[in-house]
């Protein structure tokens, strides 16, 4: 009996230590989603807070239209008029009920694409921006490469299951959304609840209400996204949310209860993470080397989402160029003289360049929770290339 008690005590103690040492994994294991693939990503840094099958290739249905909308916006042609072709008019599935020969502004097509998931709008956009659907598909795949979507391939602008060569992953779609949300026009359209557009063939206007129920009804912190569904892909959903100073992206593929999946992921993250300024802008204090003392600064703050326990595990490593004789003339000193590297549990999470001179604003600082022992572990002798 005593041996059994000791064995149970040992197992419980071991489990407790593991849960303390790996707080993220513990949080992730407690989170449940209905989706086959899912991811929760910090929009600013790209940090993945939760994932399941995030890199598995899957059909993605109408969340494809995030890429279609992005390319239309980046084309600079939103104010131009599109004449709807017979090819666009005949597109199956969800529709804006456009008519062949109808004239409509490209911007309004993008609203109809994102809010009502119009497949006819997707083809009309593709033909306008890419010259043809095939030309636009080539643009989609080139843009995917640029963004770093390594496990994605597009074969149409709408996401219909007409080929097996149209797929992506939860991770790649989060990357795409992270990129797209940097575009103010995209963010505005994706976050619009209702849009009114003139109808050139009737005496009434189109009024399109967003299908994203998280945005319109279910979650007050939702800022946008795109819904999707086909018989083969099942339910797919991309949403964004902002609460306090945390901007998040959630993606689910084949998620029968996707509305709740997204809410649960968001709420778990907002309870666990804070957006922490690890280093601020301004003068970099604490460097004692004569050449650099009180003469270095950081231009861009480094902010990263962290749990309370993780705040104690952040390390900052300062690396500076070895001073040269000719630097007795301050004008010979290069603008960038080093880098600050930021680590969490030994893994690099970011870096910032260190500049020589005096900052215009002297509000810079390293957050007090960082380990001062590791903070100014200077490596003089760093090469000019880092």
- Residue 2 is predicted with a pLDDT of 41
Domains: count for the chain: 2
Question: What is the helix, strand, coil percentage profile of the chain, to 5?
Answer: 35, 25, 40
Identify the residue whose tokens are 């922490």: 276
Give the per-residue pLDDT at 360. Answer: 63
* Catalytic positions, written as ranges: 62, 65, 117
* Residue 244 belongs to a domain: yes
- Which pLDDT belongs to residue 1? 39
In a domain, 14, yes or no: no
* 304 within domain boundaries: yes
| 264, part of any domain | yes
- Please report the pLDDT score of residue 162 as a whole number: 87
The verdict on 296 and 218 lying in the same domain is no
Residue 320 is predicted with a pLDDT of 95
What range defines the domain where residue 211 resides?
A: 33-272
Backbone angles phi, psi at 60, to 5 degrees: -125, -5
Give me the average pLDDT of each 10-residue run along the chain (386 residues): 36 33 40 95 97 98 98 98 95 94 97 98 98 98 98 98 95 98 98 95 91 98 98 98 97 98 97 94 86 92 95 93 91 94 95 88 50 43 41
Angstrom distances, CA of residue 186 to CA of 72, 135, 244, 290, 379:
10, 22, 22, 49, 43
pLDDT given for residue 304 in this prediction = 97
Q: Is residue 95 part of a domain?
A: yes
pLDDT at 374: 47
pLDDT at residue 361 in the model: 55
């Amino acid at each position: 009996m005593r041996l059994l008690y000791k064995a149970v005590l040992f197992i419980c103690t071991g489990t407790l230590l593991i849960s303390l040492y790996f707080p993220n994994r513990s949080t992730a294991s407690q989170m449940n989603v209905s989706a086959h693939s899912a991811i929760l990503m910090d929009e600013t840094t790209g940090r993945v807070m939760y994932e399941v099958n995030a890199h598995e290739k899957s059909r993605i249905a109408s969340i494809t239209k995030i890429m279609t909308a992005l390319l239309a916006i980046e084309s600079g042609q939103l104010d131009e008029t599109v004449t709807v072709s017979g090819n666009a008019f005949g597109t199956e599935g969800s529709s804006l009920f456009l008519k062949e020969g109808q004239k409509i502004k490209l911007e309004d097509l993008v609203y109809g694409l994102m809010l009502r998931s119009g497949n006819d709008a997707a083809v009309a956009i593709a033909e306008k921006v890419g010259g043809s659907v095939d030309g636009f598909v080539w643009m989609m795949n080139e843009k995917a490469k640029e963004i770093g979507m390594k496990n994605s391939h597009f074969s149409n602008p709408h996401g219909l299951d007409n080929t097996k060569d149209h797929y992506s992953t939860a991770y790649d779609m989060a990357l795409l959304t992270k990129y797209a949300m940097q575009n103010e026009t995209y963010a505005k359209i994706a976050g619009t609840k209702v849009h009114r557009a003139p109808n050139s063939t009737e005496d009434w206007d189109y009024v399109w209400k967003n299908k994203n129920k998280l945005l319109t009804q279910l979650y007050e912190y939702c800022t946008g996204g795109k819904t999707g569904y086909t018989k083969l892909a099942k339910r797919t959903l991309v949403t964004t949310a902002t609460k306090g100073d945390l901007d998040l992206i959630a993606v689910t593929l084949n998620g029968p209860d996707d509305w709740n999946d997204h809410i649960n992921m968001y709420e778990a993250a907002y309870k666990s993470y804070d957006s922490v300024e690890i280093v601020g802008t301004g003068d970099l204090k604490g460097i004692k080397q004569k050449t650099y003392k009180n003469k270095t600064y950081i231009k861009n703050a480094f902010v990263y989402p962290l749990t309370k326990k993780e705040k104690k595990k952040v390390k900052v490593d300062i690396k500076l160029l070895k001073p040269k004789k000719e630097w007795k003339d301050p004008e010979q000193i290069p603008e960038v003289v080093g880098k600050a590297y930021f680590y969490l549990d030994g893994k690099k999470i970011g870096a910032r360049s260190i500049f020589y001179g005096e900052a215009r604003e002297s509000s810079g600082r390293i957050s007090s929770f960082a380990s001062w022992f590791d903070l100014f572990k200077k490596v003089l002798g760093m090469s000019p290339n880092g």
